[in-house]
């Protein structure tokens, strides 16, 4: 960390704490903030927890630790370390809010399909063990060699298979608006066909808008019954290429989405997904994640 960044983080944390301590949200609505570890691929679990606590986050979405995306291979998610991991979280007033798997539902090949669904089931077991309410899976693509309706059917069947596996647990399987499944119409088709007590949606507004330009207000109205979790981020489009930027600095109507969720009394987390793992060139982890908490607090205050 260079000196400028250290000073920024220290100042931001101090301002955040001072403002938060004197601010009471409306009694009818209290937003909850979390961030995905996709945004800090070089941080240890302790660094992740310490930073979250410093910046008054309430939750952590785990999408890998130290670049290991298969959480079953992370020592923090071993049975031997469970009590230590949960104590560290609890001592800092934090919760696991979502475990991000790499499971894809669109695959037709029997071997690859089983491999992906097995990962989803493994993540369901982990989430149950570590008191996490959700796992995330990808829909994900519409391959040219597959009939589109047949692919949608594969997505639906995969989500239902995982949801049925989660029966009897406290875990819900969430498919993300991601990849090729980003239009309101397609998402409605999948979610309505896969309606299940243990199935829901991660609404990633940016993933949808950069490809479809559909109104977040309309998307919310059509999809709100399925939304259990959100991914919040902003971006600019430069020659049709997505460039991720700090919240409020891009073109995505992200505050429109945040506001319709708020008005609808959304009770889940506003989860910052800074894609540092995939795009190492974007702003530094500490700057971006610290900035998100500060910007969101100011938005809810106003």
Give the range among 21-25, 169-173, 244-248 with minimum mean pLDDT.
21-25
pLDDT for residue 253: 98
Domain-embedded: residue 238:
yes
Domain-embedded: residue 18:
no
Domain-embedded: residue 133:
yes
| pLDDT band (50, 70, 90) for residue 23 | very low
* Average pLDDT along the chain: 93
| Joined tokens for residue 12 | 């931001």
Q: How far apart are CA 175 and CA 127, in angstroms?
A: 15
Q: Domain residues for 99?
A: 30-301
Instruction: Determine contact, residues 76/90, Cβ cutoff 8 Å.
Output: no
The pLDDT of 147-157, averaged and rounded, is 98
Domain-embedded: residue 2:
no
pLDDT for residue 19: 45
pLDDT for residue 27: 43
pLDDT for residue 31: 85
Q: 93-134: per-residue pLDDT in tens?
A: 999 999 999 999 999 999 999 999 999 999 999 999 999 999
pLDDT for residue 5: 54
The pLDDT of 10-28, averaged and rounded, is 46
CA 14 to chain centre: 26
Q: How far apart are CA 186 and CA 88, in angstroms?
A: 41
Domains contained in the chain, number: 1
Domain-embedded: residue 277:
yes
CATH number of the domain enclosing 34: 3.20.20.150
Q: 219-258: per-residue pLDDT in tens?
A: 999 999 999 999 999 999 998 899 999 999 999 999 999 9
Domain-embedded: residue 6:
no
Q: 257-299: per-residue pLDDT in tens?
A: 999 999 999 999 999 999 999 999 999 999 999 999 999 999 9
Domain-embedded: residue 282:
yes
Domain-embedded: residue 5:
no
2 pLDDT higher than 50: no
């Amino acid at each position: 960390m260079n000196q400028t960044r250290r000073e920024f983080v220290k100042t931001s944390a101090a301002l955040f704490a001072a403002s938060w301590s004197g601010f009471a949200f409306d009694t009818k609505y209290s937003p909850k903030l979390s961030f995905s570890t996709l945004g800090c691929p070089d941080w240890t679990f302790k660094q992740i927890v310490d930073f979250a606590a410093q910046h008054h986050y309430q939750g952590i979405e785990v999408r890998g630790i130290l670049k290991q995306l298969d959480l079953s291979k992370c020592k923090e998610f071993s049975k031997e370390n469970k009590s230590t991991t949960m104590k560290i979280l609890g001592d800092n007033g934090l919760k696991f809010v979502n475990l991000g798997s790499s499971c894809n539902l669109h695959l037709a090949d029997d071997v690859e399909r089983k491999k992906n669904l097995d990962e989803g089931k493994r993540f369901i077991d982990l989430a149950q063990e570590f008191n996490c309410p959700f796992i995330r899976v990808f829909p994900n693509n519409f391959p040219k060699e597959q009939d589109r309706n047949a692919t949608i059917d594969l997505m639906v069947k995969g989500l239902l298979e995982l949801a049925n596996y989660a029966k009897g647990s406290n875990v819900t399987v969430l498919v993300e608006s991601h990849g090729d499944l980003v239009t309101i119409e397609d998402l409605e088709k999948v979610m309505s066909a896969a309606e299940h007590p243990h199935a829901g949606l991660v609404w990633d507004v940016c993933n949808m808008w950069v490809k479809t330009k559909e109104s977040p207000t309309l998307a919310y109205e059509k999809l709100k019954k399925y939304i259990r979790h959100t991914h919040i981020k902003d971006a600019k489009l430069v020659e049709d290429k997505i460039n991720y930027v700090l919240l409020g600095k891009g073109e995505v109507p992200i505050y429109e989405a945040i506001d319709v969720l708020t008005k609808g009394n959304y009770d889940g987390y506003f989860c910052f997904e800074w894609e540092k793992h995939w795009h190492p060139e974007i702003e530094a982890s500490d700057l971006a994640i610290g900035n998100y908490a500060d910007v969101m607090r100011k938005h809810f205050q106003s």
